[in-house]
Chains A and B, each alone.
Chain A
C-alpha cells in the first residue's frame, strides 16, 4: 500500500466511523422519543467513536512529518491552523445556537446531539493533530529512556480508550485514578523541550504566539463542551471519557511549559544563534579546501566568521605572499590601519602586526586595549603556515575590554582551520607546480639527448660505440666525436661537476665550445687551454669539468691524448693482449682560471696498431657501488674489458664490448639504483 493510499483509507475510515457513531446515537434518541422497544446496544456508537479516534490518530501520524530543526515553527503553524479552522466552525455552530436561542428547534435534543457530534469531530481532530505534533516535538533528540516513557504513555492512553467503555462518570473515583496517572505522565513528558534551543529569536516569538493561540482554542473547546454538558440533553458526554480529558490536560500542560521555557530562553537565544553560526562558519572553512576555493575565499570566510563570533565592529586581514602584502578590510579604511598599528604598544603584538612573527603560536595575550582612536579594543592573531606567519587577523571593537579568553579560543580555532585550508591550497598548488617541473624536465631530457651525437664513426679505420645514462632526468656527462676530413678524429668525454639541471646546462656549453674549437685545426694542448679559457668565463666558481681529449690521426696511426682531471683512459694493446690505464698528469677544466693553467696541461702521444681498443668513461662507472658498499673500480672495468675481448675474440665489435661491460656493471649493481651519471665510449682502431 502506498502512503497516499493509507492516508486516504484512514481518512475515509475516520469519516465513516464518525458518521456511524452519529447515526447510532441519534437513532437511539429517536428510539427513546417514540418509546419504541428495540434491542439497542449502547456500546455500538462508542466503538465507532473509538475507531474514529484511532483512524484520525493514524491519519495524522502519516501527514505530520518528523520534527527537524528547520520545521519546528511549521509544526506549530499546523496546530495553529487546525485550531483556527476547527474553532471557526465551532464558532459558527455557536452562532446558530445564539440566533435561534429560544426556538423549539434548538431546544430539541435531536438538534443538540446532532451539533454535539459535529463538535466531537472538531475536538477530536484538533486534539489528535496537536497530540501528534506534541509527540514529534517531545521525541526530538530522543533518548532510550524517553522512548520508554512515551511508549508507556501511549499504552496508557489506549488503555484509557478501552477503559472508557465501562462508562464511569466524570469525577468519580474510578474515573479519577487513571486520569491522575495520565496527568503525571503528561507532566513528566512535558519537560522534553530540546527543540526550543534550536529556535532563533524570531522563531521563539512565533512559537510563543502559535502555542498561546492553540491554548486559547483549547480553552474555547473546553468551555463549549461544558456548555453542552450543562444542557443535560446529551446522550453521550465527552467529559465522561478519561481519554479525551487526559488529552486535553496533556496538551495544555505541554503548551504552558513550552511557552514558559521559550519565554525564559528568549534572552539567551542570541548566544545560541552565535554558537550555531560559529559552527556553520567553521564548517564552511573546513569545506573550503575540497571545494577548491581560492585563498581569497578562505580569507573572506575567516574574516566574516571571526567578526561575527566576537561581535567585532571592524576588522582587517593582512596577507603577505611573494613579498607583497594584501589587505582585506571590513568597516575600516586601509589608511586608518597604520594609526591603529602605531597605537598598539605590546611588543609581541607589534611583531604579529608587522607579519614578522615566527615559531609556534604560544598562547599569549593576543588582545589589548587602545587608549586613543575610534577603536578601544584590538585583537591580533597571526596566521601561520608551517610555522611561518603568512598573515595577520585583526579584530576591532569600539568599546574597551571587549574581548575575553573564550573568544581567543574560538578565533584561534578559526585561524588554525584557515591555516590548514591555506596550507592545503598551497600544497595543491605546489603539487601542480611539481607536475609542470616534471614536464619541463622531460623536455630537458630530450633536449640533452639530442646534444649527444646521433651517429658515431664506423668505418675501416675506426669503430666507435657509446653508452650514456643519467642518474636524474638530466645529467652532466658529455661525449662527442668530430672528424673534419675522415682521417683525423677528435674525441672528448667530459663530466661536469654536480648533477642534474645545472650540470646539464654546463654540458651544453661544453658542447658548444668543443664544436667551435674542434673545427679549427689547432694543437691538442691549445685545444685544452682554450677550452679552459672559454669555460672559465662561463662556469660558476664552484663548478668544474673533467675531460679526456683524444686526437687520433689514422694516417700516421698516432694518438695524442690529454687528461684534464678526468678518469684515466683504459688502453688495450692488441699486440700485448693486455689493457692498461694511461696514468698521466693533468688538471680539470675551470679549476685554474688564468694563464697558469697551461703549466698543468700535459699532452702524451702513442702509436697504435690494428686491433687496439680505447676505453673512455666517466667516474660514475668506476665509482659505482653495490649494496654492500663495494666499488666497481678500475679493476672491475679492466677485468670486464678483458673478459669481453676473450669472449668475442673472433668477431670483436665495440658494440658488443660495450653491451658486455654494461651488462657486467648492472650485474655488479644487482638492482641498486644509479647514483651518478655513467658514460662509456669504446673505440676500436683498425
Chain B
C-alpha cells in the first residue's frame, strides 16, 4: 500500500502544529496515530491540526481521532482543527464530530481561540 499521507511539524512558543496532507486510509492512519502520540506526550497542550492539504479521510482515519477523545478531555488538551476541505468537513459533520471537536476555518481563528 502506498502511504499517501504526509505530515510535518511546526512548533512555536504558543502551539504545536501538525500539518497533515494527502490521504488518510487504513494504512496511513497508523502513522497519523504515531504523530498524535508524540504531540500528546509533549508539554505543549495547544495542538493545532492543519488539514488544508487533506483530501480524503477514511473511517479508519477518523477512528484515530475518536480513539483519543477521552485522552483529550482527561489531559485537557486543546486540540484544534482548521482548514478542512469541503468533503472532509462533511464527513466530520455526518459523524457528529463537529459537536465534539473544535474546528475552525482558518489558522487565524484557530490561533485566536487559543488565547
Contact = CB atoms under 8 A, between A and B. Distances in A.
A619 B40 CA distance: 31
B63 A565 contact: no
A585 B96 contact: yes
Contacts of A499: 26
B26 A586 contact: no
Q: Most chain-B Cβ atoms within 10 A of its Cβ — which of A541, A542, A590?
A: A542
Contacts of A544: 59, 62-63, 66, 95
Given A546-B95, A586-B96, A591 B66 contact: yes
A583 to B, nearest CB: 10
Nearest to B56: A623
A590 B65 CA distance: 12
Interface size class of A (residues with CB under 8 A): 20 to 34
A567 B67 contact: no
Contact of B100 (A566, A568, A585, A591): A591
B62 A497 contact: yes
B94 interface: yes
Contact of B67 (A542, A568, A587): A542
A492 B101 CA distance: 27
Contacts of B88: none
Contacts of A391: none
Instruction: Point out which of B66, B67, B70 has the most chain A C-beta atoms below 10 A from its C-beta.
Output: B66
Contacts, number: 53
Interface string A531-561: 0000000000111101000000000000000
A588 B60 contact: no
Interface string B41-64: 000000000000000000110111
Nearest to B91: A619
Given A497-B63, A542-B66, A591 B97 contact: yes
Nearest to B97: A591
Contact of B63 (A542, A592, A593): A542
Interface string A495-519: 1011100000000000000000000
A168 B104 CA distance: 122
A499 B58 CA distance: 10
A91 B40 CA distance: 107
A588 B95 contact: yes
A600 interface: yes
A255 B99 CA distance: 104
A600 B64 CA distance: 21
B59 A497 contact: yes
A541 B67 contact: yes
A28 B40 CA distance: 123
A95 B48 CA distance: 119
Interface string A574-601: 0000000000011110111100000010
Contacts of B60: 497-498, 542
Given A498-B26, A565-B94, A592-B69, A600 B63 contact: no
Contacts of B67: 541-542
A541 B99 CA distance: 19
A60 to B, nearest CB: 73
Given A498-B26, A498-B59, A565 B66 contact: no
A115 B95 CA distance: 119
A543 B65 CA distance: 10
Contacts of A543: 63
A591 B95 contact: yes
A540 to B, nearest CB: 8
B95 A542 contact: no
B53 to A, nearest CB: 17
B72 to A, nearest CB: 12
Contacts of B64: 542
A366 B62 CA distance: 51
Interface in B27-43: none
Contacts of A567: 94
B86 to A, nearest CB: 12
B62 A592 contact: no
Interface in A438-490: none
Between B60, B63, B94, B96, the greatest number of chain A beta carbons within 10 A of the residue's beta carbon is seen for B96
A566 B67 CA distance: 19
Interface string A87-101: 000000000000000
Given A499-B26, A541-B67, A592-B69, A587 B59 contact: no
A565 B26 contact: no
Interface string A221-257: 0000000000000000000000000000000000000
A591 B59 contact: no
A497 B62 CA distance: 9
Contacts of B59: 495, 497-498, 544
A336 B100 CA distance: 64
Contacts of B26: 498-499
Interface string B99-110: 110000000000
A137 B96 CA distance: 92
Contacts of A568: 94
A600 B94 CA distance: 12
Interface in B69-113: 69-70, 94-97, 99-100
Given A498-B26, A499-B26, A588 B96 contact: yes
A497 B65 CA distance: 13
A565 B62 CA distance: 12
B66 A587 contact: no
- Name, among B70, B94, B97, the residue most crowded by chain A CB atoms within 10 Å (CB to CB): B94
Contacts of A541: 66-67
Contacts of B95: 544, 546, 565, 587-588, 591
Contacts of B62: 497, 544
Contacts of A592: 69, 100
Contacts of B66: 541-542, 544, 590-591
Contacts of B63: 497-498, 542-544
B87 to A, nearest CB: 8
B82 to A, nearest CB: 21
30 contacts: A497-B62, A497-B63, A498-B26, A498-B63, A541-B66, A542-B60, A542-B66, A542-B67, A543-B63, A544-B62, A544-B63, A544-B66, A544-B95, A546-B94, A565-B94, A566-B94, A568-B94, A585-B96, A585-B99, A587-B97, A587-B99, A588-B95, A590-B66, A591-B66, A591-B69, A591-B97, A591-B100, A592-B69, A593-B70, A600-B96
Given A498-B63, A588-B95, A591-B69, 10 more contacts: A495-B59, A497-B60, A542-B64, A544-B66, A546-B94, A546-B95, A565-B94, A567-B94, A586-B96, A587-B99
Nearest first, the 7 closest Cβ-Cβ pairs linking A and B are A587-B96, A542-B63, A497-B59, A542-B67, A541-B67, A565-B95, A588-B95
